[in-house]
Chain A
Amino acid sequence: MKSILSSLLLGMSMALAAGGAIAKDVELLNVSYDPTRELYQDVNQAFAAQWKQQTGENVKIRSSHGGSGKQARSVIDGLEADVVTLALAADIDAIADKGKLLPANWQSRLPNNSAPYTSTIVLLVRKGNPKGIKDWGDLAKPGVAVITPNPKTSGGARWNYLAAWVWASQQYHDAPKVLDYMGRLFHNVPVLDTGARGATTTFVERGIGDVLVAWENEALLTLAEPDNRGKFEIVVPSISIRAEPPVAWVDKNVERHGTRKQAEAYLRFLYSPEGQRLIAKHFFRPADPKSVPASELAIFPQVKQVTIDSAFGGWKKAQAQHFADGGYFDKIYQPDH
């Protein structure tokens, strides 16, 4: 009987092992923020081709896009991202802190603080700039409708907010006046979308508002759309913020999926010359401009920029002061005002 039992268990084990040994294509899930849809469509295709050539392995990358904060929340709640490519480091910090899915030092694992591209915040207005918007101060004037997404859910919105704050700080040098300015600016926001792409839709497709506070790449993409030619123009503000959207592989998930090697290679591909050119093609500023022909960088205007570290002491501090519950944003913006 014991030998029968052993044979049975052996048979079961072999059957299960055989089932598990069926080869599968590798699949990665990239959880990203709103305006990177077009960028990662190209990156996914290019990386898959390169990986196939280098290793013979088929890799399929699925991308999920939405407000950066919401996307981070989804990963914390169980969305099994192999890599996250979000709008700001605070969102990946949240995945590390609350989800314990990657180490706290994740930002030091890839070059440039794990930011393979940067962008900045600009103002997109309707052709002819009918409201005469030239700088951040004009956004708080009566009668100006400003479109920007909700900083509680959108990483891009937080960059927008902080860029306006930087200008106001330099303009007023007085905290109450800065808060008053920010309050007036958000009083002028008729619709708070949850993500940057939604805000673009509100402004461009639904025709609402006088000015869209936008990622530079989103503004350039809008201008590049054939349907939008001649309808909009970019206003470069006197100062803006250098947005550094970071990327990271999610250790716990890649361990579970057995995809660490592919996930890491996927992110390193972004730093390669081919990846950097794709980044510039989609209007993000390459972290290594030298790897991209100058002609492909000419589209980017000169913008005076500060960094999150120099102006706010880093993302963790900015997040806590401005966007945490009870922070400055809650003080200046009441949804029912």
Chain B
Amino acid sequence: MPLPRSALALALAIATTPALAADNVTVEDLARRLKALELRLGTAETPSTTETTNSVADLDQRLRVIERKLELQAEADAARTASTPVVTMGEKGLSVKSAPPGDFEMKFRGLVQADGRFWFDDSQVPQADTFLLRRVEPTIEGTWGSLIGYRLTAQLAGDAATINDAYVDLKFDPRATVRMGKTKTPVGLERLQSSASTEQVENGFPSELAPGRDIGVQLQGEFPTGGTSYVLGVYNGTPDGRDGLSTNPDNDFELVGRLFFEPWKNDANALSGLGFGIAGSTGDKEGLGNNYLPRYRTPGQVQFFGYRSDVVADGEHTRWSPQAYFYHGRFGLLGEYISSYQHLFSPSSGVEASLDNRAWQLSGGVVLTGEDNSYRGVTRPNHPFTTDGTGWGAFELVARYGRLDIDEDAFPLFADPAVAVAGAQSWSLGVNWYLTSNFKLVADYNQTSFDAAPNGLEREDEKVFLTRAQFSF
């Protein structure tokens, strides 16, 4: 009579054990070893073992019970795994994701930028060389079910903690998501780039005219064919180059739209990294002071233009900005133009005017070590830095030129030619050293020259060396 399958397996397993020669194995040996196995696995004593006959049939049943219990244990483990949240910790931070389908996710990310600013030939407008924490941003973001996305980013680098981003997305469809809360106003191309990804330490002139973060609601989406994305939103409104206040100061809203195309985004050709589009904003602003009117800064973050203190924003404020980038292999180019048109009133002179300030820039970079360049920067060095010298990370050379022109009608009624200039142009060269995916060192030299207003101040060139150590995950 043939032995049952599992008894055969047991016999074979034992027969191959070097401790016992096969021809010496007895049923009692097998029973003892099976008992030891049962005790080791913590399986319950079966009825057969209580009244054991140590027959082959009895051993077979006991072995089958062990096999089945292991099978059930494996099933239970699989079920437990399938219902256990997944925690991951890696280059992109900490992530906790609910069990499949994983609709609930919370990611913790962070950004720290420690900068140094060093000035040269600054006798006319002296600046203090300084170290500073430019950004300290912990971020919690993720999804809460298939409908809701969210992001909370605090800014801890200043003298007081503030909120950078705090928004909720209602994701009806990839083509239609409603975002509510505080977020980047979708106008400036460089402003929309992640702070951790910008090529240079500070943004160029167009970002001085583009709105900063603001509170509002926007409809946004992407169309998979044609690589088209859009944003249409309404916000409280911000002055040029600054974030909005926590409430709307003037009872007027700002309408913002952006249309961006990446027609070959999903193709493997030379134009797959081309993106271009246009953005704009319009709305009324009515008020006096920094909450309404701009103060333009150099890349060294030094103010070089502001309106006279009694000038009032008195109506339409419209911006428009054509923009594009192109990334191919190690090369990257980013260009944008922006016009900011604001209706003003000067109470001291009784004059009204609509002034149109403009800026543009072209920046580019080449990754010397061959990694791909992108709008998100160099995301991963091919050979991350190691202390034993086998890897040095990635190196990128960057350059930028840009101009900002103040409307010539601003002088002298709306801006004081003795303190404000009529325009500025800036060039910079820099190097980025991506030691790892999470750490980079940046060094830029920026030189800005200024155009004096008629009968106005001849301002010396600004020469500044900017450095940054950035840790992000």
Q: Which residues in A have some Cβ–Cβ distance to B below 8 Å?
A: 1, 4-5, 8-9, 11-12, 15-16, 19-20, 142-145, 187-188, 190-191, 193-194, 198, 202, 206-209, 335-337
Closest residue of chain B to A146, judged by CB? B47
Distance in Å from the Cβ of B9 to the closest Cβ of chain A?
13
Q: Which one, A11, A15, A142, A208, contacts B64 given CB within 8 A?
A: A208
Are B219 and A190 touching (Cβ within 8 A)? no
Kindly report which residue of chain B lies nearest to residue A11, judged by CB atoms. B232
A8, A9, A19, A145: the one within 8 Å of B173 (CB): A19
Q: Interface on chain B toward A: helix, strand, loop, or mixed SS?
A: mixed
What CA separation (Å) do A145 and B45 show in the bound complex? Answer: 11
Other-chain contact of B69, A4, A142, A187, A191 (Cβ < 8 Å): A191
Closest to A4 in B: B255
Tell me the dominant secondary structure on chain A's binding face: loop
User: Quick one: closest A residue to B237, CB to CB?
Assistant: A1
Instruction: Report if B44 contacts A (CB, 8 A).
Output: yes
Cα–Cα distance between A19 and B176 once the two chains are bound (Å):
8
Known A-B contacts A1-B284, A207-B64, A208-B68; A190 and B47 likewise in contact (beta carbons under 8 Å): yes
With A and B bound together, what is the CA distance between A337 and B49 in angstroms?
Answer: 13
Q: Are A198 and B47 in contact (CB under 8 A)?
A: no
Minimum Cβ distance to chain A for residue B155 (Å):
29
Please tell me if the beta carbons of A188 and B219 are within 8 angstroms of each other in the complex.
no
A1 to B252, Cβ gap below 8 A? yes
Interface mask (B215-226 → A, CB under 8 Å = 1, otherwise 0): 001010000000
Contact B44 A8 (CB under 8 A): no
B47 touches A188 (CB 8 A): yes
In the bound assembly, the distance between CA atoms of A148 and B284 in angstroms comes to 76
- Say yes or no: B48 contacts A337, CB within 8 Å: no
Question: Chain B residues with Cβ under 8 A from A9's Cβ?
Answer: 234
Q: A187-B47, A190-B44, A208-B65 are in contact. List 20 more A-B contacts (CB 8 A).
A: A1-B283, A4-B255, A4-B282, A5-B253, A8-B234, A8-B255, A11-B232, A12-B178, A12-B232, A16-B172, A16-B178, A20-B172, A145-B46, A190-B46, A190-B61, A194-B76, A198-B72, A208-B68, A335-B44, A337-B44
A20 to B61, CA, bound (A): 59
In the complex, which of the residues B47, B51, B175, B252 has the most CB atoms of chain A within 10 Å of its own CB atom? B47
15 contacts between A and B (CB under 8 A): A1-B252, A8-B232, A15-B219, A16-B172, A19-B172, A19-B173, A142-B50, A143-B47, A145-B47, A190-B61, A191-B68, A191-B69, A206-B68, A207-B64, A208-B65
Q: State which of A16, A142, A208, A337 has its C-beta within 8 Å of the C-beta of B176.
A: A16
In angstroms, Cα B282 to Cα A1, docked, is 9
Which B residue's beta carbon lies closest to that of A74? B83
Residues of chain B at the chain A interface (Cβ within 8 Å): 4, 42, 44-48, 50-51, 61, 64-65, 67-69, 71-72, 76, 172-173, 175-176, 178, 217, 219, 232, 234, 252-253, 255, 282-284
Measured between beta carbons, the chain B residues less than 8 angstroms from A5 are 234, 253, 255
Residues of B with C-beta under 8 A to A208:
61, 64-65, 68
List chain A residues, Cβ under 8 A from B232: 8, 11-12
Give A240 to B47 CA distance when docked, in angstroms.
Answer: 25
User: Which residues of chain B come closer than 8 Å to A193, judged between CB atoms?
Assistant: 72
The complex places the Cα of A4 from the Cα of B69 at a distance, in Å, of 69
Q: How far is the CB of B56 from chain A (nearest CB, A)?
A: 14
Q: Which residue of B lies closest to A12 (CB)?
A: B219
- The residue from B47, B175, B252 contacting A142, defined by CB atoms under 8 A apart: B47
A208 to B50, CA, bound (A): 16
Contacts of A1 in B (CB 8 A): 252-253, 255, 283-284
CB distance from B371 to the nearest CB of A (A): 40
Task: Return B440 CB to nearest CB of chain A, in Å.
Answer: 39
Instruction: For residue B168, give the distance in angstroms from its CB to the closest CB of chain A.
Output: 15
Closest-CB distance, B99 to chain A (whole angstroms):
11
User: Which residue from chain B places its CB closest to the CB of A203 in the assembled complex?
Assistant: B68
Please pick, from B44, B61, B65, B76, the residue contacting A336 in the complex, using a CB distance under 8 A: B44
Q: How many angstroms between the C-alpha atoms of A143 and B44 in the bound complex?
A: 15
A206 CA to B178 CA in the complex, in Å? 55
| Pairwise interchain contact B64-A206, C-beta atoms closer than 8 A | yes
- With the chains together, A8 CA to B255 CA distance in Å? 8
Give complex CA distance A11, B252 in Å: 19
Interface centre among A1, A11, A207, A335 (most CB of B within 10 A): A1
- Docked complex Cα distance between A37 and B4 (Å): 31
- Of chain A, the residue at the smallest CB distance from B252 is A1
Interfacial chain A residues near B42, Cβ < 8 Å:
336
Nearest chain B CB to A304's CB is how many angstroms away?
28
For residue B176, which residues in chain A have a CB less than 8 angstroms away from its CB? 15-16, 19
Nearest chain A residue, comparing its CB with the CB of B42? A336
Q: Which of B48, B67, B234 contacts A145 (CB 8 A)?
A: B48
Known contacts A1-B284, A19-B173, A208-B64: does B51 contact A143 (CB below 8 Å)? yes
Which residue in chain A gives the minimum CB-CB distance to B253? A5
Q: 5 closest Cβ contacts across the A-B interface?
A: A190-B46, A190-B65, A188-B47, A208-B64, A143-B51
